[in-house]
Amino acid sequence: MNGWYFTGGDGQRVGPVEADSLRDMIRRKAIDGSAYVWTAAFGPDWRQLSTTDLWQEMGGTPALPTNMIDSKAIWLLAVMPVIYVVAKAAYVTWAMNAGAHLTDGDQLLPLLGLWIANGLVADWDIRAIRRTGNPTASLGWAFLLVPVYIWQRNSRLRVSQASFIVWLILIIMTLPF
C-alpha cells in the first residue's frame, strides 16, 4: 500500500499512484484541491488535497475556511418561500385591480419567476463559494430542486444545515398559500 491514493470523480478510491503521477494530474488539472488523498504518512486519515504539502509544493493555495463564505445568498434562498408568497399575492392583487380574470395558467407566472429567482440566487451562492476556493462541482444543476441544492451545498462544505431547516419550515408554513 505504498504510494498515494485519491478519490476519483465518482468518489471511488483510486491508486496507488506515485507522487510524481499525482503532481502531473494536478498540473493537468485532472485533479483539484477538493479531492481527498491518502498516503501511509497520514495514518488512517484521508485529507483534502488542498491541505497537503504536495498541493502547496505545486503552488496551490488552500481554500479559505467555510465560515468566510458570504452566506447572504444561501439565506436568501432559504427564505424564498416567503418571498414567493408575497410576490404571488402582489401579482394577484395587481391583476384583480386591473380587472383581469386569472386562470390556472396565469398562476404559473409567479412560479416561473420563483424558478428563475432560485437559479439566479443559487448561481450567486456558487460564485461566493468559488471565490473562497472551496469546491462547487455538482452543485450547478441542483438549483432545479432547491432543497437538494441547499442540503448538498451544506453537506459538501460541512456546515450547519440551518438554512435547509429554515427553508423546510417556511415551505411547510407557506404551502396553504
Q: What percent of the chain has pLDDT over 90?
A: 39
What is the distance between the alpha carbons of residues 68 and 151, in angstroms, rounded to a whole number? 19
C-beta of residue 26 within 8 angstroms of C-beta of residue 60: yes
More confident of the two residues 142 and 172: 172
**Annotated domain spans of the chain:** 4-57, 66-174
Q: What is the mean pLDDT of the chain?
A: 86
> Any long-range contacts for 53-62 (C-beta under 8 Å, 24+ apart)?
54/4, 54/19, 54/22, 54/23, 54/26, 55/26, 57/23, 58/23, 58/26, 58/27, 60/26, 60/33, 61/133, 62/33, 62/133
**16 preceded by cis ω (within 30°)?**
yes
Kind of pairing between the strands at 4-7 and 36-39: antiparallel
Per-residue model confidence (pLDDT) at position 1 = 54
Q: How far is CA 19 from CA 24, 53, 76, in A?
A: 9, 11, 43
C-alpha grid cell, residue 3: 504510494
pLDDT digits (tens, 9 = 90+) for 24-37: 888 887 888 878 89
Per-residue model confidence (pLDDT) at position 96 = 86
Three-state DSSP at 176 gives coil
Under the banding of pLDDT at 50, 70 and 90, the label for residue 69 is very high
Per-residue model confidence (pLDDT) at position 128 = 92
Under the banding of pLDDT at 50, 70 and 90, the label for residue 61 is low
Per-residue model confidence (pLDDT) at position 105 = 74
Q: How far is CA 97 from CA 16, 77, 83, 90, 100, in A?
A: 70, 30, 21, 10, 7
pLDDT digits (tens, 9 = 90+) for 83-114: 999 988 888 888 889 888 877 777 788 888 89
The amino acid occupying position 110 is P
Query: What is the pTM for the complete model shown?
Result: 0.66
Does the domain made of 4-57 have the CATH classification 3.30.1490? yes
Q: Which of 43-47, 75-79, 130-134 is predicted with the least confidence, judged by mean pLDDT?
A: 130-134
- Give the distance from CA 152 to its chain's centroid: 6
What is the distance between the alpha carbons of residues 126 and 33, in angstroms, rounded to a whole number? 17
